[in-house]
Amino acid sequence: MEMVKLTSGLLTEKYTTVHHEKDYKFNAPHTFEVRSEDGVLAKIHFQEGPIKEAGINGVNNEDLINMVIRRLEGFQNSEFRCRENAVAITKLEESLMWLRKRTMDREARGVEGTHTV
């Protein structure tokens, strides 16, 4: 699978780079790699296609957001506590709220887990 480097004005490449598949289905990349000079540190595969149509085959956005929240909470319970971590946790929780709203709206329309818009 050909991978391309993710670029963003907020993404640094000081220690690692992030790559994603070049060719993908379902409107967004599903496979990501975090790389260092020594090679691939982590590979993440997101859900490909709606669960009701494709089955569970990867992680979802909320899984990763929750992991980052838990990690930051750990720092907040240590000597590394800071305002920036607290704000980041709040914003990540807000992201989860909006993703949950999207799911609830799709459930209410009876299209959650499908390709139907």
42 within domain boundaries: yes
* Residues 46 and 84 grouped into a single domain: no
Residues 3 and 52 reside in one and the same domain = yes
Q: What is the pLDDT of residues 87-107, one digit of tens each?
A: 999 999 999 999 999 999 999
| 1: β partners | none
At residue 116, the pLDDT reads 87
Residue 50 shares a structural domain with residue 21: yes
Residue 13 sits in the same domain as residue 28: yes
How many Å apart are CA 66 and CA 93, to the nearest integer?
8
Beta carbons of 51 and 113 less than 8 angstroms apart: yes
Residue 78 and residue 46 in one domain: no
Return mean pLDDT, the chain: 95
Per-residue pLDDT band at 113 (split at 50, 70, 90): confident
More confident residue, 25 or 17: 17
Query: Does an H or E element contain 105, and which?
Result: helix 83-109
Asked whether residue 117 is assigned to any structural domain, the reply reads: no
Structure confidence at residue 114 as a pLDDT band (50, 70, 90)? confident
Stated pTM of the model: 0.89
Task: Tell whether the model's pLDDT for residue 43 goes beyond 90.
Answer: yes
Domain around 1: 1-59
CA atoms within 13 A on the CB side of 19: 18
Both 52 and 74 in one domain: the answer is no
- How high is the pLDDT of residue 86? 98
Q: With 90 as the cut, is the pLDDT of residue 117 above it?
A: no
Residue 115 reports pLDDT greater than 90: no
DSSP letters along 14-77, please?
A: SS-EEEEESS-STTS--EEEEEETTEEEEEEEB--S-HHHH-S-SB-HHHHHHHHHHHHHHHHT
Note whether 27 and 38 are same-domain residues: yes
Residues 100 and 70 in one domain: yes
Angle at the Cα of 39 from the Cα atoms of 33 and 40, rounded to 5 degrees: 25
Work out the burial of residue 3: count CB atoms within 10 Å of its CB; fewer than 13 is exposed, 13-18 middle, 19 or more buried: middle
How many structural domains compose the chain? 2
Average pLDDT over residues 50-59: 93
